[in-house]
């Protein structure tokens, strides 16, 4: 029987950052407020508000949904009846406004499926609110491409061949909140729960001269990611300023629950359980990305690593100076707090 291991600095060390012979750092003492305020997505979702829209469009079939998306205009509320909406990838190309966003909403029993295609794509749009419904049984769940100021609220995204939600192609200022992403990567190791930005091999998808995919300033809040074949959240090189907060992760089979490979992102007040490798990570390839993997911050996270995982925090050697792992993070059931000293 494995005895739980809680890593604490000894009083004799006065919680100094002392590395052991393996280059690992013992954990700081647990803070007085070790319980992270995580909230699960609500079990039932009041998906479609009774007011706050200019026109309500009720749909009950796939054909009606496609028609509503094609003709959507600012202030619309497109209301999904319970049922299955199948037949291929849904593509959204019309925008709302800050004053009059377009809302697509429905209960969990309204299920979008696409088989071997993307479940839904927001392409070049702004000010959409997606709320309440489910995207399931698709090649990839939800893609945002060149899309900004959209809100993904209380969705369930599950059973995808690759990633659950992808925010890429210069998509900025989007928010994912109160959303449940699970069982991603059914047939592929590229099954991130949430994927922000693009691998450098795909930067040419967005610009002819392969500029970094600056999908900046996105947020993931109060979101649960479970059973992904890769990272729970993978923030790619080329991106800046993401916020990941009040979220929980489990059973990620990638490098970490949360990998911050861009610059100036924050992982705050999150919790994770069962990591295949490390819990939280900054790890880039210096020869390919010398300008990325800097100025990221980890605070008040709770990491229950458990075998076969190893350490709580993993920062690539050479990048430990400007990435801050604060001592208010808590790591249990791990071989070490991390491979870097914590910041008081």
pLDDT tens sequence across 292-325: 999 999 999 999 999 877 999 999 988 888 999 9
Q: From the centroid of its chain, how far is CA 145?
A: 16
Q: How confident is the model at residue 43 (pLDDT cuts 50, 70, 90)?
A: low
pLDDT at 318: 81
Q: Does domain 36-204+212-300 have CATH number 3.30.1330.40?
A: no
Q: Whose CA is closest to 73, among 110, 107, 103? A: 103
Average pLDDT over the chain, rounded to an integer: 88
Walk across the sheet containing 118-123 and list its strands: 90-92, 118-123, 140-145, 165-168, 194-196, 233-235, 258-260, 280-282, 311-315, 336-338
Domain ranges of the chain: 36-204+212-300
At 250, list the tokens: 């489990």
Answer whether 151's CB lies under 8 Å from 130's CB: yes
| 114-153 pLDDT, tens digit each | 999 999 999 999 999 999 999 999 999 999 999 999 999 9
Q: How confident is the model at residue 47 (pLDDT cuts 50, 70, 90)?
A: confident
- Mean pLDDT, to the nearest integer, of 189-200? 95
The answer to whether residue 68 scores a pLDDT higher than 50 is yes
pLDDT at 319: 83
Please state, in angstroms and rounded to a whole number, the distance separating the CA atoms of residues 278 and 117.
Answer: 32
């Amino acid at each position: 029987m494995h005895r739980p291991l809680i890593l604490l600095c000894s009083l004799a060390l006065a919680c100094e950052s002392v590395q052991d012979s393996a280059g690992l750092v013992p954990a700081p003492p647990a803070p007085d407020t070790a319980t992270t305020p995580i909230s699960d997505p609500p079990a039932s979702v009041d998906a479609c508000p009774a007011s706050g829209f200019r026109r309500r469009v009720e749909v009950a079939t796939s054909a009606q949904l496609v028609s509503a998306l094609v003709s959507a205009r600012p202030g619309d509320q497109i209301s999904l009846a319970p049922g299955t909406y199948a037949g291929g990838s849904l593509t959204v190309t019309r925008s709302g406004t800050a004053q009059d966003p377009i809302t697509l909403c429905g209960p969990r029993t309204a299920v979008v499926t696409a088989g071997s295609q993307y479940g839904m794509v927001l392409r070049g749009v702004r000010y959409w609110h997606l709320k309440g419904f489910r995207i399931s049984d698709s090649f990839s769940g939800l893609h945002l491409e060149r899309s900004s100021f959209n809100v993904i609220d209380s969705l369930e995204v599950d059973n995808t061949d690759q990633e659950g939600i992808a925010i890429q192609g210069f998509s900025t200022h989007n928010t994912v909140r109160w959303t449940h992403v699970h069982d991603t990567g059914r047939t592929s190791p590229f099954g991130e729960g949430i994927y922000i930005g693009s691998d450098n091999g795909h930067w040419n998808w967005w610009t002819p001269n392969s500029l970094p995919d600056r999908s900046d300033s996105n947020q993931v809040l109060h979101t649960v990611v479970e059973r992904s074949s890769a990272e729970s959240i993978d923030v790619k090189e080329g991106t800046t300023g993401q916020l990941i907060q009040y979220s929980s992760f489990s059973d990620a089979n990638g490098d970490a629950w949360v990998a911050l490979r861009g610059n100036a992102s924050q992982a705050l007040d999150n919790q994770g359980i069962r990591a295949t490798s490390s819990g939280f990570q900054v790890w880039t390839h210096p020869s390919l990305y010398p300008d990325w993997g800097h100025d990221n911050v980890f605070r008040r996270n709770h990491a229950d690593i458990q075998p076969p995982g190893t350490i709580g925090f993993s920062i690539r050697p050479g990048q430990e100076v400007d990435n801050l792992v604060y001592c208010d993070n808590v790591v249990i059931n791990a071989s070490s707090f991390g491979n870097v000293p914590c910041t008081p």
